[in-house]
Amino acid sequence: MTAVSAQEPEESVRETVDRNLLEYQAQGSDRGESDFVGIPFEQVLATPENIQLNIAYARQQIIGGDLKEAGSTLERILLIDPAMHDVRVLYGLVLYRLGLFDRARYELELALDSNNLPPPLRAEAETYLNRIKYEQRQTRGSLTLTTGLDWDRNRNQSPSSGMVQSFLGVLPAEERNGDAAFIFSAQGRLIHDLGSQEGHTLHAEASYYHSDKHEVDRLDLDATTLALGGTWYAGDWSFTPRLRGGFYWLQGEDYQKTLGGDFEVAYRWNPHVKAYVTLRGEDENFRATTNFGSAPLRSGRRLGARSGLEWRFSTTQRLSVEAMYMDKQGDASCSLTGAVSGCESYGRYGANMQHSWLLGKGAFSLIGLWAERSEYDGVDRFISPSIVRDEWLYRARATVGAPLSVFLPNAPEGVKDINIIAQYEYETVDSNILNFDYDTHKAALLLSKRIAF
Q: What is the pLDDT of residues 235-276, one digit of tens each?
A: 999 999 999 999 999 999 999 999 999 999 999 998 789 999
346-404 pLDDT, tens digit each: 999 999 999 999 888 889 999 999 999 999 998 887 788 888 999 999 999 999 999 99
Domain ranges of the chain: 33-135, 138-452
pLDDT score at 9: 34
Q: What rounded mean pLDDT belongs to the chain?
A: 86
Contacts (Cβ under 8 Å, ≥6 apart) of 62: 21, 22, 24, 25, 70, 94, 315
User: CA 37, CA 58: separation in Å to the nearest integer?
Assistant: 12
pLDDT score at 12: 44
For residues 126 and 12, which has the higher predicted lDDT (pLDDT)?
126
User: CA 132, CA 113: separation in Å to the nearest integer?
Assistant: 17
Instruction: State the CB neighbour count (10 A cutoff) for residue 17.
Output: 21
Backbone angles phi, psi at 110, to 5 degrees: -65, -40
Q: 164 and 435 in contact (C-beta within 8 Å)?
A: yes
At 219, the amino acid letter reads: L
User: CA 150, CA 441: separation in Å to the nearest integer?
Assistant: 11
Q: Which has the minimum average pLDDT: 52-61, 116-125, 204-213, 405-414?
A: 52-61
| Mutual angle of helices 67-80 and 85-97, in 10-degree steps | 150
> In angstroms, what CA-CA distances link 385 with 22, 379, 381?
61, 6, 5
Provide the percentage of residues in the chain whose pLDDT is more than 70. Answer: 89
For residues 38 and 221, which has the higher predicted lDDT (pLDDT)?
221
Q: 437 and 161 in contact (C-beta within 8 Å)?
A: yes
pLDDT score at 47: 73
Q: 161 and 172 in contact (C-beta within 8 Å)?
A: no
Q: Which has the minimum average pLDDT: 56-70, 96-110, 282-296, 381-395?
A: 56-70
Tell me: pLDDT of 41 over 90.
no
Q: Which secondary-structure segment (H or E) carries 317?
A: strand 317-330
User: CA 347, CA 304: separation in Å to the nearest integer?
Assistant: 10
107-142 pLDDT, tens digit each: 999 999 988 888 888 888 888 888 888 888 889 999
User: CA 286, CA 222: separation in Å to the nearest integer?
Assistant: 15
Reduced to 3 states (helix: H, G, I; strand: E, B; else coil), residue 414 is helix
Mean pLDDT of 201-222: 95
Tell me: pLDDT of 13 over 50.
no
Mean pLDDT of 324-336: 78
pLDDT score at 39: 78
pLDDT score at 37: 54
Give residue 29's pLDDT band: very low, low, confident or very high (50, 70, 90): very low
User: CA 249, CA 274: separation in Å to the nearest integer?
Assistant: 37
DSSP letter string, 206-275: EEEEEEEESS-GGG-EEEEEEEEEEEEEETTEEEEEEEEEEEEEETTEEEEEEEEEEEEEEEEEETTEEE
Query: What CATH number matches the domain at 138-452, 3.30.70.120, 3.40.50.720, 2.40.37.10, 2.40.160.40?
Result: 2.40.160.40
pLDDT score at 380: 81
Give residue 333's pLDDT band: very low, low, confident or very high (50, 70, 90): low
For domain 33-135, which architecture applies?
Alpha Horseshoe (1.25)
Q: 331 and 300 in contact (C-beta within 8 Å)?
A: yes
For residues 135 and 290, which has the higher predicted lDDT (pLDDT)?
290
Give the residue ranges of DSSP H helices in 40-135. Answer: 41-46, 51-63, 67-80, 85-97, 101-113, 119-135
Reduced to 3 states (helix: H, G, I; strand: E, B; else coil), residue 374 is strand
pLDDT score at 131: 84
Mean pLDDT of 308-317: 88
Give residue 63's pLDDT band: very low, low, confident or very high (50, 70, 90): confident
pLDDT score at 53: 81
Tell me: pLDDT of 26 over 80.
no
Tell me: pLDDT of 15 over 80.
no
